Amino acid sequence: MKPPFTVIGGGISAVHLTLKLNKMFPQQVTLLKQNPFRIHDFDSDPGWLGPKKQTAFHKTHCYQNRREQIIKARYKGSIPRDLYIKLLHQQRKNTKLTMNGEVHQGKFEKGTIKLYNKSSQLLQESGTVLLATGFQAMLPGKEWLAPAIEDNHLKCANCGYPIVAENLQWGQSLYVMGALAELEIGPIARNISGARQAAERITQNV
């Protein structure tokens, strides 16, 4: 990797990476984001941490409706307020630390990466471009999970995610956590709070 650096994204990973690189390479880092920052202290409404939101979710028997609730509940690409304040503090020292723009094309010319928008206007010239644009909303580990699902006749919803029991059992001696448990745990399944709830369910029922 060589400076200057351009980090593309607007969520928590992008901001953490930008602040880290800015500390190592002052004045040589730019965060290029498509949208205004979304400030949320949690990645979903705090009501999902307990019965306020979870009760109605668990009473929903249609897994397609559960999926829709999960998608609607997530604050995609958000950052907590304390991280936003850290970024603003560094931005006072480096006014070029963040910029708005949507990249449609990139070209490597004479050792430099040039990023262009949809109007072919040059947005940024960079020595290194790092993508921190999040993950696709798809079943994790699908490549190795797909044959396991077929071989073991494991139940899945139309979205491709596991249909599991309340104790998160998917098959004989097989339990899930994280994203694979979100149709039972809800939108917090991927974070630490969801991991704790999943661990409690599994240990209390095995």
Query: Are residues 27 and 85 part of one domain?
Result: yes
Shared domain check, 87 and 70: no
| Total tally of structural domains belonging to the chain | 2
Q: Could you tell me if 57 and 82 lie in one domain?
A: no
Q: How confident is the model at residue 89 (pLDDT cuts 50, 70, 90)?
A: very high
The whole model's pTM is what? 0.72
CATH of the domain at 115: 3.50.50.60
Total H helices, total E strands in the chain: 7, 11
**Residue 59: its pLDDT value, please?**
95
Do 161 and 199 reside in the same domain of the chain?
yes
Are residues 119 and 86 both part of a single domain?
Answer: yes
List all residues 6 or more positions away from 169 whose beta carbon is below 8 Å from its beta carbon: 175, 205
Q: What is the mean pLDDT of residues 38-49?
A: 86
- The pLDDT-based confidence of 166 (bands split at 50, 70, 90) is very high
Same domain, 143 and 169: yes
Residues 25, 55, single domain; the answer is no
| Averaged pLDDT for residues 189-196 | 92
The stretch 90-116 carries a mean pLDDT of 93
Of the candidates 98, 77, 93, the residue with the CA atom closest to the CA atom of residue 7:
98
Phi-psi sector, 61: left (phi>0), alpha (psi -120 to 50), beta? alpha
Co-location of 192 and 172 in the same domain: yes
The whole-angstrom separation of Cα 54 and Cα 57 is: 5
DSSP E strand stretches across the chain: 5-8, 29-33, 38-39, 78-79, 98-100, 105-109, 112-116, 122-126, 128-131, 169-171, 174-175
- Rounded-to-integer distance, Cα 35 and Cα 49, Å: 27
Looking at residue 136, its pLDDT comes to 67
H-run or E-run covering 197? helix 192-205
Confidence (pLDDT) at 137: 67
36 and 120 assigned to the same domain:
yes
pLDDT band at 142 (very low <50, low <70, confident <90, very high): confident
Overall average pLDDT of the 68-92 stretch: 92
185 neighbors 49 (Cβ within 8 angstroms): no
Only one residue has tokens 């907590």, namely 80
Predicted confidence (pLDDT) per residue in 47-68, tens digit: 898 999 999 999 999 999 999 9
* Residue 146 and residue 107 share a domain: no
Domain range for residue 178? 46-74+136-205
More confident residue, 8 or 43: 8
Give yes or no: residues 36 and 61 share one domain.
no
Together in a domain, 20 and 86: yes
